[in-house]
Structure 1
Amino acid sequence: MGLLKEAFEAANLERAWRWIRSNPDSEYKSYFRAAYAQFALADEKLLADLRTRLKRGTYQTSHACKVFYPKRSGILRPYTLLTVEDQIVYQAMVNIVAERLFPHFKTRYFNETFGHLYAGKTSVWFYRKWSDGHAAFNESARKAFASRLTFTASFDLTACYDSLDHGVLRHFLQQIGCDQQFCTVLTDHLSRWTATDRRVYHHHGIPQGPLGSGLLSEVVLQHFDSNYGDRKRVRYVRYVDDIRMFAATARELRQMIVNLDLLSKDVGLFPQSSKIEIHEITDI
């Protein structure tokens, strides 16, 4: 069975719809309360109709609505509002990605990776509790200090969601077993959803706001987890695009920063150089 067919099976579409409604991001859901309520009134029939159009190839994604939030710097952060049907289609495809990514990287959960942790098919929620991951992320700093790794540095990526290249995403999706047709359809949808109202289409970016985007970013970000360097000398932890490192000497951290910079260049992402500093920890 091709992955598109698997993605658009009735059970997976129902699962996608369930996880969209259980999304803990109340801000995003607040834009859709009325739309979700209306869809829920006849969701069985509407999901069946959606599945029919997907199977026949007649389903067309809609252009996204963009809400822009100003940052302190004056730069605008885009928030992407998709139609309910597009949210379901997107989540259904990300469900397939999650199932293929999880076996490769589950051993890193709460060890090196602490954000956007897939909860599994039977869970009420798509992700494990973010607060558990964030608490474990902070606890890792205390453990590193207790192990006498007293030098630390952070490595943040600039506009990670906006910068993710679709060719790079397809490369890593294929590495975890996603077929070419599935990858092409997904990135075609992403190109439509990341465009602004001027309809200038490009081949990078994933929509900020929808539930599944965090998991999709992990497909590329795991490149850092897999290749960062010497695990014996440096403690590496990552919460989404925020990477922290701990070592016994500043020299070891400098080498790690060079490694991460080279990995960024591999995948076309950009570190925030102004935020990269090495500090010696005296107390936690």
Structure 2
Amino acid sequence: MSAFTDLYSFNNLKLAWQRIRTGQNTFYKSFYRHTYDAYAISLEKNLQLLSDSIRTSVFQPSSSERIFIPKNNGLQRPITLLCIEDQIVLQAIANIYAIKFRSKRKLVYDMGVCSNRLNRNPSSIFFYERWQDSWQLFKKTVFSNYDAGFRYVADFDLSAFFDTISHDLIVKQYAPKSGNKDFCDFVKVCLKTWTPENYTHGIPQGPNASSFLAECVLLPIDKAFENSVCKYVRYVDDIRIMGKSYNDVHNGVVNLDTLCRARGLIPHSGKFGIKQAKSRTDALGSMPSLSYSEDLFKYPVKTRKIFYSSLTNKKDHIRDPSRFKYILYRSNPDEEFLRHALRLIPRHPELIDTFAFYLSRFGQRRKITNQLIRLLKVGSPFEYIEGNYWLLLASSSSQTQIAKVIYPAINRHKQLNGHPLMICIGIYNVLNESKDLKVFNYLCKSLKKETMFSIRTNVLAKLTPKSNSLAFRRLIKTCLQDSSIDVAVLSAWYIGYHGLPIDKFKVDQSSIAPQALNILISLGIVKGKGPSLVGSLGILVSRRLNLKKPWSGWKRFLSVDYKHCHRLFVLAEKAFDESPTTWMGCMDSFNDLVIRHLLEQLSAKYPSLKIQKTISKNGELIDFGVILQPGSYLERNEPNLHKFFNNFHLRRNKLPTSHAKDKKTQAVSRALGRQERNEYVNTLKKGYNEFFKIVGREGL
């Protein structure tokens, strides 16, 4: 088969999808968490649609969107946001390149090329080896060379590396003799579309796949140093030329400079210099090399010592960003650290993600809100910074404080020129916290007019559903019909996740994006051709929990909530392999409805007994955690059932998607791993075996 045929094969597209989901580029993927979950609901059908569209030349890549992250030199690093199917296509392209260049890249591993090493198993769903291992290898290689007498070191860096890579060069690397024309033409069309202003150079920075294409471009340069008297060590575009004399290193640098410029790559003049290293650490340079153990934080005195060592003597600036970030990402909320963090935020825009992560752990705090309001009044030249200020304001403010900033937020939104991505996302999140229906309608109307898929998906995922709002219903209808696949599939997921009736939105099925329609069909929300539900709910539950036989009473037992429970279970199943954390969240919602129906039916059968209520006197649902709390009806009367469901719910509360930290212990929330997920499947099996005993005993 040709490279182009291999590219759009279903197996390659599915492998590309799996490698995206398992990639370690967590910052990039954080913009797509709900979109990934949505697309996965009807994965096979949608991947087949994608395959057919590429094969028949119907597929057209979409324009990318960009955010700009502040750097410590006062400039910005561009991150390219691709729509979900473009990400799959880019990774599928990288898969084809990996097949051709796997053996060639192995030849340069031993000489010191440490970054983006392919997984040893060519068919693995993990594209690379762990970056942590590759980074440690880079350090060890530099240290080993230093110990061997290579004490003269040149730090060589490429300026705007990803933005300067030529599309022609990428294609020629794969087909130097102009073969595989269909494949090469397709690659060039995609890269040009994803590049701002349709330039013929530049690849998207952010997706894992781009890093491998960049490695392929650097391969001839790597090989040129195979027999050099110098030692050549590289991690992405950070290169060390190490020699036993100044002249050896200088000659190596001149050679490297010539090789890079011949490929249109631009050396960073401000970062170049030859020095005689005084130590291993000096040879490594300014790159972070911390290796503290997390046990360190059992000793608060030592933690504070490291924290303050990262600051200047006056504590008004950060002199060691690596230590500072290390402490804030791992330490518990601390009032003293908070005081310093709030003062240092405006002085170090390059560390905004670190500050945002740490401040989010404190929940609603007036001190944080007041500082954010002051910072917003002062303003920032960085869109990314202001956007994060608004996002933090949304999460740290009480309803009273939110009410005070709503209209300043709306006024700021009206003043915006264009659609600055991060600022819009931040302001919309603040508006979503308001209880005022007028504000909500303004939010929906504004979101309906947005043209950037990244804004709409990131805001829609968190939007509070209010079916009584006409603006809300029009927004969802528009999103279902949107030309952006990301927006359409997320709106379909949104309807299923919140159990919203599709007829509320008065949308013609023929106008819904095919990928979104597949999701709605998979969730049983609409009928039609496409992927059908995998059997009844009884079969699904039985299959996942490995029960002896399916229970046929689900539809009768759940009554009006049957369809919603079915959707929740399908959502959980789609996330089972690739996102255990999402799986647990969906399953806990499923358990919530099951337990509520159990209590309501027991209460109807035994009205004289004081059985736990599921709805409060003012008509609001009682929290699932309250229903399961110590001393509850279930704990007293059905202790075995209570134990298993409560254990599952307590673990769900400790997920990052539920809470930043444990309320009692203040332990940092942990994502659910695959092994732990399997243990909780067994917990559910025991819990539902107890459930079936009860419904059998009571004739429910």
User: CA RMSD for the aligned pairs?
Assistant: 1.6
Per the TM alignment, residue 181 of structure 1 is displaced from its structure 2 partner at its CA by 2.5
Indicate the residue corresponding to 2:250 in structure 1. Answer: 254
Look up the match of 2:148. Answer: 147
Structure 2: how far apart are the matches of 1:214 and 1:114?
A: 13
In the alignment, which residue of structure 2 is the partner of 1:227?
A: 224
> What amino acid is the match of 2:18?
R
**Percent of aligned pairs with the same residue?**
33
**CA offset at residue 282 of structure 1?**
2.5
Distance 2:87 2:183 in 1: 17
State the Cα distance separating 1:121 from its structure 2 match: 2.8
Give the structure 2 partner of residue 117 of structure 1: 117
2:51 aligned residue: 51
Alignment of 1:132-171 (within 5 A): 132-171=133-172
> Which residue of structure 2 lines up, in the alignment, with residue 104 of structure 1?
104
Mark the CA change 1:133 to 1:111 in structure 2 (over 3 Å): closer, same or farther.
farther
Give the conservation status (yes or no) of the 8 Å contact 2:13–2:92: yes
Instruction: Provide the rounded CA distance (Å) in 1 between the counterparts of 2:209 and 2:160.
Output: 17
Specify every segment of 5 or more residues in structure 2 that has no aligned partner in the other structure, as ranges.
Answer: 281-700
Q: Equivalent residue for 1:241?
A: 237
Misfit runs of 4+, over 4 Å? none
Deviates further, 145-154 or 16-25: 145-154
Q: 1:219-244 CA distances to partner (integer Å, 9 max, x unpaired)?
A: 1111211113742x211111111110
Task: Select which of 260, 265, 269 maps to 1:269.
Answer: 265
Gap change, CA 1:217 and 1:176, over 3 Å in 2: farther
Which 10-residue stretch deviates more, 75-84 or 155-164? 75-84
Aligned partner of residue 18 in structure 1, secondary structure:
helix
- Cα distance, 1:28–1:81 mapped onto 2, change above 3 Å: same
Counterpart residue identity of residue 213, structure 2 = L
Alpha-carbon distance between aligned partners in 2 of 1:176 and 1:7, rounded to the nearest angstrom = 20
- CA-to-partner distance for each residue in 1:100-119, whole Å, 9 max, x for gaps? 01111212225421001111
Matched, 1:61 2:61: yes
AA aligned to 2:253 is I
Match of 1:10 in 2: 10
- Write the distance in 1 (CA, Å) between the matches of 2:110 and 2:12: 27
- What is the alpha-carbon distance in structure 2 between the residues aligned to residue 278 and residue 230 of structure 1? 21
Distance 1:108 1:178 in 2: 25
Match of 1:217 in 2: 214
Q: Match of 1:53, SS?
A: helix
More displaced 10-residue stretch of structure 1: 174-183 or 272-281: 174-183
Q: Which moved more, 1:206-215 or 1:170-179?
A: 170-179
Which string of whole-angstrom CA distances, capped at 9 and with x for unpartnered residues, describes residues 81-101 of structure 1?
111111111111110001101
SS of 2:67's equivalent?
A: strand
**Cα–Cα, structure 1 residues 229 and 52, in superposed 2: closer, same or farther, change >3 Å?**
closer
Q: 1:172 maps to what in 2?
A: 173
C-alpha displacement of 1:205: 0.1
Q: Greater strand percent: which structure?
A: 1
Distance apart, 1:163 and its partner CA: 0.5
Which gives a bigger RCO, structure 1 or 2 (Cα 8 Å, sep 6+)? Answer: 1
Partner residue, 2:547 = none
Amino acid at match of 1:190: L
Partner SS, residue 77 of structure 2 = strand
- Deviation of 1:160 after TM superposition, in Å, equals 0.6
- Tell me if structure 1 keeps the 8 A contact 2:15–2:125: no
The equivalent residue for 1:127 is 128
Aligned equivalents of 1:35 and 1:241: distance in 2?
A: 31
- Give the aligned residue type for 1:272: H
Distance 2:69 2:93 in 1: 27
Q: Structure 1's 177 and 167: CA in aligned 2 closer, same or farther, altered over 3 A?
A: closer
Partner amino acid for 2:125? V
Which residue in 2 is equivalent to 1:193? Answer: 194
Look up the match of 2:635: none
Alignment partner of 1:206 out of 203, 207, 222: 203
Structure 1 residue 73: deviation in Å?
3.1
C-alpha distance in 2 between matches for 1:178 and 1:23:
31
Q: Distance in 1 between matches of 2:86 and 2:224?
A: 34
Conserved in 2, the CA contact under 8 Å of 1:264 and 1:271? yes
Decide which moves more: 219-228 or 255-264.
Answer: 219-228
Map 1:21-32; keep pairs closer than 5 Å. Answer: 21-32=21-32
SS of corresponding position for 2:208? coil
Aligned residues: 279
Question: Greater CA deviation, 140-149 or 118-127?
Answer: 118-127
Query: Which letter maps to 1:128?
Result: E
CA contact (8 A) 1:100 1:177 kept: no
TM-score normalised over the length of structure 2: 0.39
Quote the Cα distance in structure 1 between the aligned partners of 2:203 and 2:212: 11
Contact kept in structure 2, 1:229 and 1:259, CA below 8 Å:
no
| 2:269 counterpart letter in structure 1 | S
User: In 2, distance between residues paired with 1:108 and 1:173?
Assistant: 18
Q: Which among 254, 260, 278 is matched to residue 274 of structure 2?
A: 278
Structure 1 stretch 115-124 or stretch 25-34: which is displaced more?
Answer: 115-124
TM (normalized to structure 1)? 0.93
Displacement of 1:177 in angstroms is 9.1
Tell me the secondary structure at the aligned position of residue 94 of structure 1: helix
Is the 1:110–1:136 Cα contact (8 Å) retained in structure 2? no
Q: 1:249 & 1:176 partners in 2: Cα distance?
A: 40
| Structure 1, gaps ≥5 residues long | none
Cα shift readout 1:1-58 (whole Å, capped 9, x = no counterpart):
2111111111111100101111111111111111111111110111111111111111
| Residues 66, 81 of structure 1: 8 Å contact kept | yes
Change (3 A) 1:66 1:115: same
Where does residue 71 of structure 1 map in the other structure?
71
Q: Distance in 2 between matches of 1:19 and 1:169?
A: 21
Cα contact 1:101–1:176 (8 A) shared by 2: no
Whether the aligned pair in 1 keeps the contact of 2:115 and 2:131 (CA below 8 Å) is: yes
Is 1:91 matched with 2:91? yes
User: Matched residues in 1 for 2:179 and 2:195: separation?
Assistant: 22
